[in-house]
C-alpha cells in the first residue's frame, strides 16, 4: 500500500468510503475481522462477522449514477474475483476443515453519500 501522502484522490475517497461502511456495519451489529485483504485473486474490502456467519463486503462509491451507479458496478467479473479471494481467505483461515456460513454483501455510496447496504447481494455460485 502506498503511504497516505502518495495515494491518489480516488484511492483516498475509496478509503474514506470503506471507513464509513465499516462504521455503518458495526452500528448494525456486525463485528470487524479484517480490512483490505489482498491475494493473487483480488482484494476484499472488509471481512465482518454477523453472528456465526462470515461476511465478505465490497464497498463501492460513485459520485454519478451513470451506468447504474455504485451497486451496479459490481459486475460478474468482480463477483468472481471476490469469490476466489474469499475462498483463498477461508482456506488460509480454516484449512480443509468446516467453513462457516458465508455471505457476500455490497455497501454502495451514490451521489447522496449515504450507504446503501445490500445484504446477500450475490452468492458464490
In this model, does residue 3 exceed pLDDT 90?
no
Q: What fold is seen in the domain 4-122?
A: Trna Endonuclease; Chain: A, domain 1 (3.40.1350)
C-alpha cell at 8: 491518489
pLDDT score, position 11: 75
CA dihedral sign of residues 4, 6, 20, 26: negative
Strands (DSSP E) found in the chain: 31-39, 42-50, 53-61, 102-109, 115-122
The pLDDT tens digits for 90-107 are 999 988 788 999 999 999
Across-strand partners of 59?
107
What is the strand order of the sheet 115-122 is part of? 31-39, 42-50, 53-61, 102-109, 115-122
Domain boundaries, the chain: 4-122
Q: Are 111 and 65 a contacting pair, CB within 8 Å?
A: yes
3-state secondary structure of 3: coil
Please write the tens of the pLDDT for every residue from 39-56. 999 999 999 999 999 999
Amino acid at each position: 500500500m502506498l503511504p497516505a501522502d502518495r495515494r491518489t484522490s480516488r484511492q483516498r475517497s475509496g478509503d474514506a468510503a470503506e471507513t464509513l461502511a465499516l462504521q455503518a456495519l458495526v452500528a448494525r451489529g456486525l463485528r470487524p475481522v479484517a480490512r483490505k485483504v489482498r491475494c493473487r485473486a483480488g482484494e476484499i474490502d472488509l471481512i465482518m462477522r454477523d453472528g456465526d456467519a462470515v461476511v465478505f463486503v465490497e464497498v463501492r462509491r460513485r459520485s454519478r449514477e451513470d451506468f447504474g451507479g455504485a451497486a451496479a458496478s459490481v459486475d460478474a467479473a468482480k463477483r468472481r474475483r471476490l469469490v476466489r479471494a474469499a475462498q483463498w481467505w477461508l482456506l488460509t483461515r480454516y484449512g480443509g476443515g468446516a467453513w462457516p456460513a458465508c455471505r457476500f454483501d455490497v455497501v454502495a455510496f451514490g451521489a447522496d453519500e449515504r450507504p446503501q447496504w445490500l445484504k446477500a447481494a450475490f452468492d458464490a455460485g
